Amino acid sequence: MKTRMLYAILATLLATPARSKYIVPGGRWYDTDGELISAHGAGITFDQKTGRFWWFGEYKTEAQTEGGGVSVYSSEDLHTWTSGGLALSPVEGHPYISPENIIQRPKVAYSQETDDYHMWWHADNSTYGLLLQGHAVSSTIGGPYSFVDATAPLGNWSQDFGMFTDYQDGRSYALYSNGDSLYGRDVYISAMNKNLSALETAVHRFPKFDLEAPSIMHTENGYWALMSHKTGYRPNNVVAFRADSLSGPWSQPFIIAPLNTRTFNSQSGFVLRIEGSKRTTHLYIGDQWDSNTIWESRYIWLPIQTDGKNLELVWHDVYDLDVKTGTWTPVEGTTYTAKNAKTHGDAYKQEANFATDGIILTGIYGNDSTVTFEGIEGSGEPQWISFYYQNIDDMGFGDQPGGTPDRIGGSWQLRRISSVVVNGDTSNVQTLYQRDTHKGIILSTPLQLTLKKGKSNTITVGGLYNGFDYKGADLDRIVVYPPEGK
């Protein structure tokens, strides 16, 4: 008996894959097969039957950035994701789900009434001329889902799609912006029928705010609707509205993240409610779209902090989330600042009153003008390192009238790219994408690196070609986090 138990425990230990324990917004996230997770414009559904979280999103590859269908991944803990392939596959020649169609922002909810799962999404043609909502069903949450139809919600247009299920009464709502035309520019909350087979009635219209990417969360302090402005794939300041009831009256919108961070370079899309044994946590599920290589756009997931009157997103490089208790804890790292780094070539230290030590590393360019952080303690295992940087390219949008927020006629440079080399090993150059921030705004972006055990590691940062130039962004500091699972 005892031996059997020991074997059972051993088998469990051996079968348990190396677990990532942390949530690392903006990192490259891989599934259990070692593939980059591709599930953009996501919806995440906790399924009572399987006891798992199911992440649905737009499946994008380098060769197929739209019309790739809906991917699905599942997880017990929101850290370790197993791919379930395509939940909705594109069908050649189909009017609404062919590889030429737009299949965006899928969401899935369970209907108690019909005991099956309903997927809804923004269904469109490649020029966004249809503005419909697609609907597909499956008897199991993972799918495959069968296409039902694509319709105009209550006779209106529908662009960015969101879905909200109220924990209090189980009712689901479709959330959608109704396009960019003068007659649109609204966002709707419409109640769905209990079968989740159609929309029943418009509950509220946010008139003419011209916002998109809507999501809703419900706390003890009411309903909060999060939406972004409309700036294409460039991020902007996401706003929230508050109300006691879904039908309103809704408050004035307010900005939810520090100004000029453009919501930490992300767009809203979904809020996941995690009801733990100790507390309920709401996670902001955002996209860090990267229009240069949209298939590898990153995910920005952050805990939402609310009190009665306010809602805000606070950045954490790395946090430890326990879905069983609903609690999350920021992980502490070790900081190495610009002041102690070595510069090479034309890279230099410049006064910057907003920087950690009043000094920022600038002039980083190509492989000659680099900076090196020394004496870094490593664990010998992969660990996350956050690079705090400033990129002042000012993300213009030169080819569109009115689209140059900070610079007249500026060309759009979404990101700089830095090279990151550990211990001088130039045969293993890592690429670090450093999105535009703003002047004086320092944000961080993570890489998972393996350092030697001990305190003698170096990290050298140079500049790589971003399509325009070899400039690396200015560096303020790096923060080295303990390995996962520790």
Backbone angles phi, psi at 178, to 5 degrees: -110, 40
Q: Is 369 in the site for ligand NAG (CB under 6 A)?
A: no
Strand 267-275 versus strand 280-288 pairing type: antiparallel
Tell me the window of 74-82, 133-141, 192-200, 211-219 that interacts with ligand NAG (CB under 6 A). 192-200
Residue nearest ligand NAG (C-beta atom) = 129
Q: Is 212 in the site for ligand NAG (CB under 6 A)?
A: no
Residues 89-148, interacting with ligand NAG (CB under 6 A): 113-114, 125-127, 129-130
Q: Is 366 in the site for ligand NAG (CB under 6 A)?
A: yes
| Contact (CB, 8 A) for 473 and 363 | no
Residues 259-298, interacting with ligand NAG (CB under 6 A): none
Rounded distance between C-alpha atoms, residue 416 and residue 114, angstroms: 50
Instruction: Report DSSP state, residue 195.
Output: T
| Contact (CB, 8 A) for 42 and 269 | yes
CB 429, min distance to ligand NAG, A: 7
Q: Is 202 in the site for ligand NAG (CB under 6 A)?
A: yes
CB 384, min distance to ligand NAG, A: 25
Q: How far is CA 199 from CA 113, 148, 308, 335, in A?
A: 15, 14, 31, 51
Q: Which long-range contacts (CB under 8 A, 24 or more apart) does 57-64 make?
A: 57/106, 58/103, 58/104, 58/105, 58/106, 59/86, 60/294, 60/295, 60/297, 61/295, 62/293, 62/295, 64/99
- Among 426, 428, 431, 456, interactor with ligand NAG by CB under 6 A: 426
In the bound state with ligand NAG, the residue whose beta carbon lies nearer, of 34 and 129, is 129
Backbone angles phi, psi at 294, to 5 degrees: -65, -25
Q: Is 367 in the site for ligand NAG (CB under 6 A)?
A: yes
| Contact (CB, 8 A) for 78 and 29 | no
Q: Is 195 in the site for ligand NAG (CB under 6 A)?
A: yes
Q: Where are the alpha helices (DSSP H) in 256-377?
A: 262-265
CB 119, min distance to ligand NAG, A: 17
Closest CA to 40 of 71, 14, 15: 71
In the bound state with ligand NAG, the residue whose beta carbon lies nearer, of 16 and 426, is 426
Tell me the window of 65-73, 193-201, 369-377, 379-387 that interacts with ligand NAG (CB under 6 A). 193-201
Q: Is 152 in the site for ligand NAG (CB under 6 A)?
A: no
**Per the structure block, which two tokens stand in for 334?**
């070790």
In the bound state with ligand NAG, the residue whose beta carbon lies nearer, of 113 and 332, is 113
CB 212, min distance to ligand NAG, A: 14
- Cα angle value 188/289/176 (rounded, 5°): 10
By CB under 6 A, how many residues form the interface with ligand NAG?
A: 20
- Among 80, 197, 350, 450, interactor with ligand NAG by CB under 6 A: 197
Q: Distance between alpha carbon 47 and the CA centroid of its chain, in Å? A: 21
Tell me the window of 150-158, 246-254, 319-327, 405-413 that interacts with ligand NAG (CB under 6 A). 150-158
In the bound state with ligand NAG, the residue whose beta carbon lies nearer, of 193 and 356, is 193
CB 367, min distance to ligand NAG, A: 4
Torsion-angle region of 131 (φ positive above 0: left; ψ -120 to 50: alpha; else: beta): left
Q: Is 149 in the site for ligand NAG (CB under 6 A)?
A: no
Rounded distance between C-alpha atoms, residue 269 and residue 258, angstroms: 18
Amino acid at 412: W
Q: Is 203 in the site for ligand NAG (CB under 6 A)?
A: no
Residues lying near ligand NAG in the complex (CB under 6 A) are found at 113-114, 125-127, 129-130, 154-156, 178, 183, 186, 193, 195, 197, 202, 366-367, 426
